[in-house]
Chains A and B, each alone.
Chain A
């Protein structure tokens, strides 16, 4: 800071990729802290292992593709991808899960398409989906209360399998709801039967909501995608909850469980793979919200944020072409106004 006021024109500083990514990482802190408080140190280890795997893979891909290392290694995108995959993993998942997720995300999701800026799919969600469909058992190792450090280390690095961890693992709220509903229990009965993680997931989602609002305030992301996604999820949940409240959980439960807030503010808002026009963003976000509800309620997996984001990623070229904003002074089809 020189303290000297320069005369106009005052040009805004264009934010760098690295600056935006660092901001997003900062905004992840409250939600991550809530997750660590709820689930234990495993969350942080997952993030660390995943980030390391992403950075090594990024460097290896850049070498293979004869691209310069330092500008891409310093743009923080690989770190953010790693952090998002790490946050999506259950706290007792073995370390190689995080490694495979990071490697798949960077290789399959990013560099095969030409690296940063060219990927049609969200790299973090590609990595997570590879894990989700390849290792269903390892990805259910959620806990109901904070796992102590020794158990976490034994699970992540000691090769303790799912059967050995049976006493500490438990269904996440969405999983418990799903199992309960499939056994013809009502929502309230399922809530009691599966010892829903007593509100803890609500705090996690509040943390991510807080970080997300901060990002909107700092103009790191725009409001359209998160608001539209939460509206899509909320409206679907509200309609079905009003129709039959015994078979469908209430909207607040859906908005405050699973990856709803993390997905809305941090995953769906990826500037590369998401829609870029304002109306496109609204449709993109709303579509994700609706898909998340459909997958949670009737799909084969307890949560649907990853699949919802990937499916809507495919529609982005169409959305951006057909929902372009009208340029001032121009008619609908780009013709000048008369």
Chain B
């Protein structure tokens, strides 16, 4: 099972698509203005990534190398279309807010990257695990950035949760800073870039602290003593 825990750890932390690979930044930066938007797109990406990883792994032996990329793209496009129709039907308001970024999941390089780098070379079970881990990692990055920007930009968390969780969730909004008029920069595009940069810096700082605590394992690239 250690293989699977390794896949999970890579997806969520050491090789996180948002914080380490820096893939799929366009949706990551564009729709992370609130937690609910971020969660909506994160879940959609997670579903597409897992399904496309599974499908690519299942057909990997019958796909010729020369045409693999177009075929992967078509597989991904099929799942994205399905997700788009589902969201249009059941989460219509969120679908309208996320807009172009749902069809654009097709072009999310994190997804084609996993199909090419992992799913086309591994078994179905491992590819599904990788899809869940990488999708989870991407969702985590979206969620953290969305939370940061929503608190700073509006002073709330989980505002408009009914868009994703139905009418019951209408009262879930947590007002973190009461009577806050908002630090508009955080909600605007530059805030997304600055916020992501601070999150990556924070992750690197945690990694460095962890590495310093374990002197037996020098970090990659360190001079051998």
Contact = CB atoms under 8 A, between A and B. Distances in A.
A130 B190 CA distance: 10
B191 to A, nearest CB: 9
Nearest to B153: A134
A329 interface: no
Interface in A125-140: 130, 133-137
Contacts, number: 17
Contact of A133 (B181, B185, B194): B185
In this complex, the interface size class of chain A, counting residues with CB under 8 Å from chain B, is under 10
B155 to A, nearest CB: 13
B101 interface: no
Nearest to A138: B181
Nearest to A136: B184
B118 interface: no
A141 to B, nearest CB: 14
B188 interface: yes
Contacts of B184: 133-136
A257 B118 CA distance: 61
Contacts of B194: 108
Interface in B166-225: 181-186, 188, 190, 194
A133 B181 CA distance: 13
A100 B152 CA distance: 13
Interface string A91-117: 000000000100000001000000000
Most buried by B among A100, A108, A134, A136: A134
Given A134-B186, A136-B184, 15 more contacts: A100-B183, A108-B194, A130-B185, A133-B184, A133-B185, A133-B188, A133-B190, A134-B182, A134-B183, A134-B184, A134-B185, A135-B181, A135-B183, A135-B184, A137-B181
Interface of B: 181-186, 188, 190, 194
